[in-house]
Amino acid sequence: MSIEQGRVAVITGAASGIGRGLAEYAAGLGMRLVLSDVDGQRLQALCAELQALGAEAVACVTDVGDPAQVERLRDVAVERFGGVDLLFNNAGVMQTGHCWEITQEQWQRMLSVNLQGVINGIRSFVPLLLEQGRPAHVVNTASLAGLVSSPLMAPYNVTKQAVVALSETLHYELSLQQAQVSVSVLCPGPVASEIMASDQVAGAAGAQFNELLDTSIRQGMTPLELAELVFTAVREKRFWILPHKFFKPALERRMQSILEETNPLFQFVDEKGTEIEGEHDAA
């Protein structure tokens, strides 16, 4: 029997990609699941698949950008299972293009789902987790983009770096209260998913970049492989979950640039160790 068996997990963005991998893995551990997504058809199909395998799972269609809908998601979890042990604020979308070409509506969509969705999850669920008086855990899905910036991904960079900052702040605040609730921030690189289908693409440069990024993502780590790493980190109560290590030289250069107050240089190393370098202003 796993230590997770019978515990309750709430997963947003569960119908595909990372969220689906987390749901399938959690079901295999015997967890009881409350699954949410805006895609009701795919969400119901996943829920039915897991139920057919013997899992206790309930679907709750949710727009995480709407506080009232996230509160309803919490209420569904409490009404169905009596509480929550593990919250995955995972829902996310993509937007590419030059930051000056991206429309106000596209910016707002990214802020609503990628950032406000996590804020809503924290505001709705953390008081419940604290009131329960038992160990619980929150996992916020950010990205490598939460630690290093890339061109043509401004809204994604902005929202994911905000999620990292929010998660770190939440970690400090819960630690100060000596709470039994712990936090992790998940910063993966390419994970096989259809997230690029959510990209509304702004400008010709965005369209070209979209194709390259989509190929990289689809060839990435499988969601189930990622889920195994995530659950291991949760058991160990690790804050940083960094499944891909190839980005660390770029992160180190960024930190060095900040400490030395030099102009940033876009220079990234992919999973094959290939360096990608871009233009930058003279220091």
Cα dihedral sign for 96, 64, 234, 33?
A: negative
SS3 2: coil
Angle at 251 between CA 246 and CA 254, to 5 degrees: 145
Contact between residue 255 and residue 225 where contact means Cβ atoms under 8 Å apart: no
Catalytic residue (choose from 81, 88, 156, 268): 156
Tokens of 116: 């406000």
Return d(Cα 240, Cα 120) in angstroms, integer: 21
Query: Which helix H or strand E contains 210, and what residues bound it?
Result: helix 203-218
Distance CA 161, CA 148 (A): 8
DSSP states of 174-201 as a string?
Answer: HHHTT-SEEEEEE--S-BSS-GGGG---
Q: Can you give the length of the chain in residues?
A: 283
Q: Which residue has the tokens 């220079």?
A: 267
CA-to-CA distance for 166 and 93, rounded, in angstroms? 18
Q: How far apart are CA 64 and CA 10, in angstroms?
A: 12
Examine the residue annotation and report whether 25 is marked as an active-site residue of this protein.
no
Catalytically active residues are: 156
